Structure 1
C-alpha cells in the first residue's frame, strides 16, 4: 500500500480560507450581492452594448442606449403593477379574517361529521393556520414597505453594471495578464465560457418568465379571478427564485380567490392550474429553455439553493444556480476538480462508471491536494 503523508499545514490553510471566505460573504452581503448581480447583468448586456458601440463608435453612449432598452420594459412593468396594486391591497385588508371564517366553518363541519371535539381542534388549527397565512401576507407588506431600500439597491446595481461595461476590456486584460503566456489562451476560453453561460441563463430565464406570465394570466382569466394579469405576472417574476418561486406565486392568487369568491371550485381550480403549470415548467419549459446553460443535477441545485439562501437570503436563492454553474465550468479546467464537476453534471445518473474509467488517477484525487511536498 502506497504511503500517504498528510500536510497539516495545507489542511489548516484550506479550512482557514473557507472560514474567512464565509465570513466575508456573510458580512459583505450589502456590497457583494449588488456587485454579483451587476456582473451578471453586465454579461447579459455586453452583446447589446458591443453592437451599439460598433454603430455609434462611442462606448458610453452605447451603454446608455443599452440601459434604455432594458429600462423601458421595466418601467412599463412597474407602471402596470402600480395601477393594479392599490386595488389588490384594498381587497387584501380583510383577507385573513375571511379565510379564517371559512376555515372555522370547515372545522365545525368536520367535527360534526366525524364526531371530533370542536373546541381544541378549532382553536389549535385556527391559530396554526393564522400563522401560516401571515407569512405570505407579511412578505407582500414587507416588500412594499421596503421599496425605498430596494430602489437604492437597484440603483447601486445599475451603477456597478455601467462601470463593468465601461471598463470591461480593462478588466478582461487584467485577468488575462495574471496568467503566463502558456495558460493565457485557456484563461481566455474560461472567461468566454462564463460570459456565455451568464447570457444564456438570464436570457432563458427571461423567456421562461414571459411564458409563465402568459400561462398564469390566461388560466386565472378563464377561472374568473380578479386581476389575473397582476397575479399571473407576479408569479412569473417570483419564478426567478428556482423551485420555490413558482409555488409561492400560486399561494397568493389562491388566498385571494379564497377570500374574494363565493364558490369552492375557483380556489381549487387555482391550485390545479398552478400545480399543472409548475409541472410543465419544471419538466419541460425550464429544462428546454434554461437547462442547456445550467447543466447541473437537481441535488447540486438544491444544495446550492440551501447554501445561497442561508448566506444571502433571497439574493442568494436567485444567484445560486448561475454561481454553481459557473463554478462547475471553472472546475473542468483543473484536473483535481474535474471529478467534482462531473459529479455535479445533469447526466451523472447515466455516467456512473465515468469515475472508474476516466478519473482513477492520483492527479484527480482531492486528497492529493493535502499531501506533503505537493506544489
Structure 2
C-alpha cells in the first residue's frame, strides 16, 4: 500500500491536531492550580469592569476603584460562603433527627406498598434496612464533603480576589500588551473584537447572576410559604448550583422536592410543592434566561454537554462551571475572526454565522 504526498500531508495535519489536543489537555490538567483561580478572577474582573469604570468617573483613581470593586466581590462571595457554611453546619448537627424523619418516610412507604401490593412490612424490612442505612450514610458523607469543599473554596477566595484586583488595576496595560503584538492594519479589528467580547462576557455573567438571584427569590418565598426546613441552606445551594447547565437545575429542583417528601406531613402538600418547584424551574429556563441573558452567547445543547463532561473530567466541579463560559468566549472570538466563523457557527445556536 502506497501513500501519496497528499495523503501524507493529511496524516501529518491529523497528527499535529492530535498532539495539539493532547498538549491542551496536559496544560489544563497540570496547570489547574493556577488556571482555575485565575479564570475565576478573570471572569469576576470582567463582571466588575463597568463598576470600576463608574467609580473612576466619580474621580476615584484606578487603584482606589480597583480596590473598592474587589472589596464588593469579597463582601458578596464571602458573605454567601459564610452563610452557607453556617447553615450547612446546622444541617449536619441535625442529621440524627433527619435520619428519624427519613425512617418515618420509609415506614410510610412500606405501609402504602403493603396496602397496594399485599407485600407485608416484614417482607420489605430486610430490603429497606440495608438500603436506607446505605442512603443515609452516603448522604452524610456527601454533605460533609460538600462542606469541606466550600471551606476550601473560602480559603482559595483570597487568591481569586488578588487576581480580580490586579486584573482591574492593570487592565489598560494588558490591552496595550495585546496591541503591541497586533499588526497596525489589524489593530482596529482586534480592538473591536476585544471590546465586543468584554461586553458580551459581562452581559452573560451579569445576566446569569440576575437569573440566579430571581430564582433564589422564588425559591425562598416558596420554601417559607410551605414551611420547608433548612429553607435558606437549600435556597443558597439550589441557586448557586444552577450555574452548571442542565445538571445544575436538575439537582436544584430535585433536592427541595426530596426534602418535601421527607418533612411534610401529607403527600398532597408535597405534590403541590413539587409542582410549584417544577413551574419555577420552567420559568427560569424558558422565560428568565432567554429574556435576561438572550441568545448572543448561547451555545447549542450538544456543545454545552460536551463542555460539562470535558470540564468535569479535567477540573471536576470547577471545570463544569468554567468550561461553559470558556466555550462561549471561543464562540465570540470565532464569530469575529476571519477563517474561524465555521467554529462559531458550530458552537452557536443561531442559524446564521
Q: TM-score range by the shorter chain?
A: 0.7 to 0.9
2:224 counterpart (221, 234, 240): 221
CA change 1:20–1:125 in 2 (3 A) is farther
Residue deviations 1:128-165 (CA, integer Å, cap 9, x gap): 56555655543332122344421222111111111111
CA change 1:101–1:343 in 2 (3 A) is same
1:110 counterpart (109, 113, 132): 113
Q: Which residue of 1 aligns with 2:59?
A: 56
Is there any run of 5+ residues in structure 1 with no aligned partner, and where? 355-375
User: Normalising to structure 1: TM-score of the pair?
Assistant: 0.82
1:15 counterpart (2, 5, 18): 18
- SS of the equivalent of 1:224 reads coil
> Which deviates the most, 32-41 or 286-295?
286-295
Q: Distance between the aligned counterparts of 1:141 and 1:204, measured in 2?
A: 32
1:267-282 matches, cutoff 5 A = 267-282=270-285
CA change 1:194–1:111 in 2 (3 A) is same
Query: Alpha-carbon deviation of 1:97?
Result: 4.6
Q: Which residue of 1 aligns with 2:350?
A: 347
Q: Which residue of 2 aligns with 1:371?
A: none
CA change 1:309–1:86 in 2 (3 A) is closer
Q: Distance between the aligned counterparts of 2:276 and 2:94, measured in 1?
A: 22
- SS of the equivalent of 1:262 reads coil
CA change 1:153–1:99 in 2 (3 A) is same
CA change 1:343–1:7 in 2 (3 A) is closer
- 1:331 and 2:334 aligned: yes
Query: Alpha-carbon deviation of 1:308?
Result: 1.5
2:299 counterpart (296, 299, 302): 296
1:1-375 matches, cutoff 5 A = 5=7, 6-78=9-81, 80-81=83-84, 84-107=87-110, 109-116=112-119, 123-124=126-127, 127-128=130-131, 131=134, 137-348=140-351
Does the Cα contact within 8 Å between 2:87 and 2:232 map onto a contact in 1? Answer: no
Query: Alpha-carbon deviation of 1:315?
Result: 0.9
Q: Distance between the aligned counterparts of 2:163 and 2:117, measured in 1?
A: 62
> Which deviates the most, 216-225 or 75-84?
75-84
Does the Cα contact within 8 Å between 1:108 and 1:122 map onto a contact in 2? Answer: no
CA change 1:316–1:123 in 2 (3 A) is farther
User: Normalising to structure 2: TM-score of the pair?
Assistant: 0.87
Residue deviations 1:47-94 (CA, integer Å, cap 9, x gap): 211222233352111111112333334455456546644543333333
Query: Alpha-carbon deviation of 1:326?
Result: 0.7
CA change 1:151–1:294 in 2 (3 A) is same
Q: Distance between the aligned counterparts of 1:273 and 1:240, measured in 2?
A: 21
CA change 1:7–1:46 in 2 (3 A) is same
Does the Cα contact within 8 Å between 1:96 and 1:130 map onto a contact in 2? Answer: no
Query: Alpha-carbon deviation of 1:177?
Result: 2.0
Q: Distance between the aligned counterparts of 2:80 and 2:336, measured in 1?
A: 41
CA change 1:181–1:18 in 2 (3 A) is same
Q: Distance between the aligned counterparts of 2:131 and 2:221, measured in 1?
A: 33
Residue deviations 1:279-325 (CA, integer Å, cap 9, x gap): 11111111211233422222222221222122111111111221111
Q: Number of residue pairs matched?
A: 348
- SS of the equivalent of 1:239 reads helix
Does the Cα contact within 8 Å between 2:88 and 2:147 map onto a contact in 1? Answer: no
Query: Alpha-carbon deviation of 1:102?
Result: 2.2
Q: Distance between the aligned counterparts of 2:260 and 2:26, measured in 1?
A: 44
Is there any run of 5+ residues in structure 2 with no aligned partner, and where? none
Query: Alpha-carbon deviation of 1:260?
Result: 3.3
> Which deviates the most, 291-300 or 18-27?
291-300
Does the Cα contact within 8 Å between 1:250 and 1:270 map onto a contact in 2? Answer: no
Q: Distance between the aligned counterparts of 1:257 and 1:30, measured in 2?
A: 39
